[in-house]
Amino acid sequence: MKKYNINKIIRLIVQILFLIFLPGLVGSAFLEIKVLFVDIFTANFASIIGDTSLIIVLLLSTIFFGRFFCGWMCMFGTYNDIVNLIGKKVFKIKYKINPKVDSYLKYLKYVVLIFITCFIWTSLVTIPSGSSSWDALMQLTNPTYAFNNYLIGLIILVFITIGDLFVERFFCRYLCPLGAIFSIVSKGRILSIKKERTVCSPCKACTHKCSMGINLDNVDYVTSGECINCLNCTKICPKNNAHLALNKKAVNEYAAVAVAVAGTTGLYLATDKIASNYIDTSSTSEVSVSKYADGTYIGTGTGYKPNLKVSVTISNGKITDITVYSSNETESFFNKAWNTIKNAIISKQSTDVNTVSGATRSSEGIIEAVNNALTQAEEAQKVETTIASETTTTSVGTTTTKTTSTTTKTTTTATTTASSSTSTTYKDGTYTGTGTGYKPYTKVTVTISNGKISSITLVSTNDTDKFFTKAWSTIKNAIISKQSTTVSTVSGATRSSEGIIEAVNDALSQAQ
């Protein structure tokens, strides 16, 4: 029992180290499974190395050594273990699931994998955003944001947590789609548990202590794909009959753990270094030179944590610079992704770039923030185009006024119509207005100078930051440019757009 407890402590220390330094491995690995599936499905073989270095390493490691990743390195597995430990030690739960029921429930994870692969990844079924329990767990450091953006994921996480209190590795046994893949590919591993039944006593301690509920007392070699190499069985055996074996020859267990875990990590870091320099520059830019209005725009995205902000500079219709405005990301992950993603976007003049393996979430946050900024630049360009079009129409009308009296009447009518929507005389001064977007009390000040709207300043808002930021610059600039609140809302931030427009209208009503 002493060896068993020491093993639990050693494994927990290793798990916590991975939780601290590489918490995103499981999320990145499953995302790369999707990318690998899509690349193969679409015959995009040239991008596989750059897109999927992490999952390739994990698959190779699992094929040869077994599921050490699940037992020692996976953040979600660590969460399962900690919750189950709390259930046993704090709540004194001693529940044992029926072995037959357990064996049937283990097939559920294959159903989950098939559903995700055949229906979600092929876009036959669309699931609501914020449904990932992995992502919800990663956002628990910001409960308000997690509740607002990952409510479905949190509900699933609560269900998993309750299950973990009663059944060790509840999620890993029954629901984990990544575990389903590893369970299949690990069956031919060269490193496995060896125990001779002829030497066994009838204690069944190995089966009772197995994290994954495998029936171990009736086998000489553990070939089950469910085994996560936790080593509980080798340390609880009163006769020292269970050993970790390489090709059926006993080996030092912790040396094997060190080689498997360190080897997997080292190989991943090495291939990731290569992958981070692997940027596909062969595809042509999808960005039109005239698509964006010149200027600097602030965009917001969500990586591991929310509120990742970047500023994007557009010059001559092209993306010329991207700088960090603010970030809450873990520095090591963010730094790993930043230069590669930034340079790739500027080089391709497109956000259709590869994420950096091992920093997928930070990469996605950067890309989302840049897309958010570019949306504002695109909306601003539409406004400029509309204004230019209206100006051209007015100029043509003025010229034709000189021709005949009939034409004059037509032109006057057109000009009057345009004026009614774009020009009103206001009293000079600064006025405060309030509107309701996603939430009430978006407050702005509007400054009128020489009878025109000269500036709009934000006083306060309760709207979700990423939606409000997406709308603010575009709506503000459009109103000032058109001298009217008859402007288009920003797609994806409609409610915040409406709140800003309502607040400006409220201020302007006081200026009339």
Supply the DSSP string of 59-92, one letter for each residue.
Answer: HHHHHHH-SHIIIII-HHHHHHHHHHHHHHHTS-
Element (H, E) at 310: strand 308-315
| Vertex 311 angle, CA 308 and 313, to 5° | 155
**Total-model pTM:** 0.63
Read off the pLDDT of each residue in 53-60 and give the average, rounded to a whole number.
Answer: 88
Residue 155: predicted pLDDT: 95
Which positions ≥6 away from 409 have C-beta within 8 Å?
Answer: none
Q: Where are the beta strands (DSSP E) in 71-162?
A: none
Task: Tell me which DSSP letter residue 106 carries.
Answer: T
pLDDT at 414: 32
How many H-runs (helices) and E-runs (strands) does the chain carry? 21, 9
The per-residue pLDDT for range 141-150, each reduced to its tens digit, is 778 878 887 8
Confidence of residue 429 (pLDDT cuts 50, 70, 90): confident
Query: Above 60 in pLDDT, residue 220?
Result: yes
Q: Identify which has the larger pLDDT, 436 or 212.
A: 212
3-state SS class at 331? helix
3-state SS assignment for residue 492: coil
> Does residue 420 surpass a pLDDT of 90?
no
Name the amino acid, one letter, at 45. Answer: F
Residue 72: the pLDDT is: 97
Average the pLDDT over 248-274 and give the result.
86
Listed residue (363, 366, 372, 368) closest to 32, CA to CA: 363
Structure confidence at residue 252 as a pLDDT band (50, 70, 90): very high
Q: Minimal CA–CA distance to 15: which of 275, 310, 321, 228? A: 228
Lookup result for tokens 């993603």: 341
| Helix, strand, coil fractions of the chain, as percent rounded to 5 | 55, 10, 30
Give 86 or 266, the one with higher predicted confidence: 86
Q: What share of the chain in percent tops pLDDT 90?
A: 37
Give the burial class of 356: count Cβ atoms within 10 A of its Cβ; 0-12 exposed, 13-18 middle, 19 or more buried. buried
Q: Which residues pair with 245 in a beta bridge?
A: 192, 250
The Cβ of residue 482 has, within 10 Å, a number of other Cβ atoms equal to: 18
Contacts 24+ apart (CB under 8 A), 332-335: 332/21, 333/24, 333/303, 333/304, 333/358, 333/359, 333/361, 333/362, 334/303, 334/359, 334/362
Query: Over the chain, what is the mean pLDDT?
Result: 82
Does residue 280 carry a pLDDT above 70? Answer: no
Residues 346-402: tens digit of each pLDDT: 988 888 888 776 677 888 889 989 998 898 888 777 776 665 555 544 444 443 333
pLDDT band with cut points at 50, 70 and 90 for residue 299: confident
CA 488 – CA 171 distance, rounded (Å): 46
Position 424 scores a pLDDT of 60
